[in-house]
Amino acid sequence: MTAPLRSPEPIVVEVALAERSYEIVIGRATLASLGRRMRALKPRAKAAIVTDTMVASLHLAATEAALAAAGIAATVVTVPPGESSKSFEVFERVCEALIAARIERGDLVVALGGGVVGDLAGFAAAVIRRGLDYVQVPTTLLAQVDSSVGGKTAIDSRHGKNLVGAFHQPILVVADTALLDTLPPREFAAGYAEVAKYGLIGDAAFFAQLEADWREVFSGGPAREQAIAVSCRAKAAIVSRDERETGDRALLNLGHTFGHALEAAAGFSGKLLHGEAISLGMVMAFEFSARRGLAPPGDFERVARHLAAVGLPIHVKKMAGPLPDADRLMDLIAQDKKVQGGRLTFILARGIGKAFIARDVEAAEVRAFLVEKLG
């Protein structure tokens, strides 16, 4: 990706939602400005930082220092790392801790972490005292380009991922790209799946740039900030048009119907990270589209080739642990949030950059495809 030399000024992307509009601030060392930006939005607020123990060991001290520099008093609530924290039990514990800390309606919750912490803390903020404002400080690539933006908050049910939640927009997102330097390579690659997704949905030129310059995104060059900014602009534009996913916001779920089912089948565990599941899901969506004569076979092969090149999984049969069977995956797909009246909805594609919402996909056709992929 051809990108300008890094500027000391952050990139600011606006999510335009009338009186609930907010900024996404993208750049290296932007965490230091967190307290100042929060103080400008809510001059008298105190804060509660919700984070996990792994992120706390890396970034909590700097976050507390940024708030203290702005005179913001903060309490800290920590949870275990991993998808298992998006449970009713941990959600209850976070809510009780925020109430015990006397966080009031005029105060702020700060979600410091990846997608799990953002979803969990955001959902707690949505319901405590009938709604608290919150700030997203995403510490993973996946969270910076996807889950921290758009106001989707949730915990998991035993029936599937993100089935209990609410739409609740943050008032600020501070995406410090320097925090990504601490990510393990596998975690960074998993987040990259969501970056590639924006090109596959509606920006073929962006996907081509990623194919050419993905190494600079991974190494932390200027292309990293640019890729994150392009991704955030794409999501912000869709969210601004369709905040509650009644229309084309569903396009952001490319790869997620297959992916969420695979993730649930793996027990929401380290066997299959969310971004890895989305990589598998996007490859499956493009192959399924090609099988239906919708997308050129060459585009499916190109998608698979690029995701494999960056280290993401593209073959379901190579998942760790015992493979789920097709019936188990179909049960999980039937719980997908896009199902309406029992009818399956998938995000399919007519080619790279040409995703569309396909309603009334025949379950028998999907099951036959899964039997073949798992056989």
- Looking at the annotation, which residues are catalytic? 130, 152, 194, 235, 245, 249, 253, 256, 260, 274
Identity of the residue numbered 225: E
Taking residue 235's Cβ as centre, other Cβ atoms within 10 Å add up to 25
With contact defined as beta carbons under 8 Å apart, do 119 and 155 qualify?
yes
Distance CA 163, CA 182 (A): 30
Tell me the two tokens of residue 9: 């000024």
Scanning the chain, the segments in alpha helix (DSSP H) are 34-41, 53-55, 61-69, 88-100, 115-127, 141-142, 185-202, 204-219, 222-241, 256-265, 274-291, 297-309, 326-333, 363-374
Sign of CA dihedral 220, 222, 227, 228: positive
Closest by CA to 261, choosing from 193, 328, 187, is 328
Distance CA 372, CA 363 (A): 14
Distance CA 331, CA 308 (A): 28
Closest by CA to 306, choosing from 209, 164, 228, 216, is 209
With contact defined as beta carbons under 8 Å apart, do 252 and 201 qualify?
yes
Burial (CB count within 10 angstroms: exposed 0-12, middle 13-18, buried 19+), residue 85: buried
Angle between helices 115-127 and 88-100 (to 10 degrees): 60
- Give whole-number Cα distances, 120 to 3, 100, 283, in Å: 35, 17, 29
Distance CA 247, CA 262 (A): 25
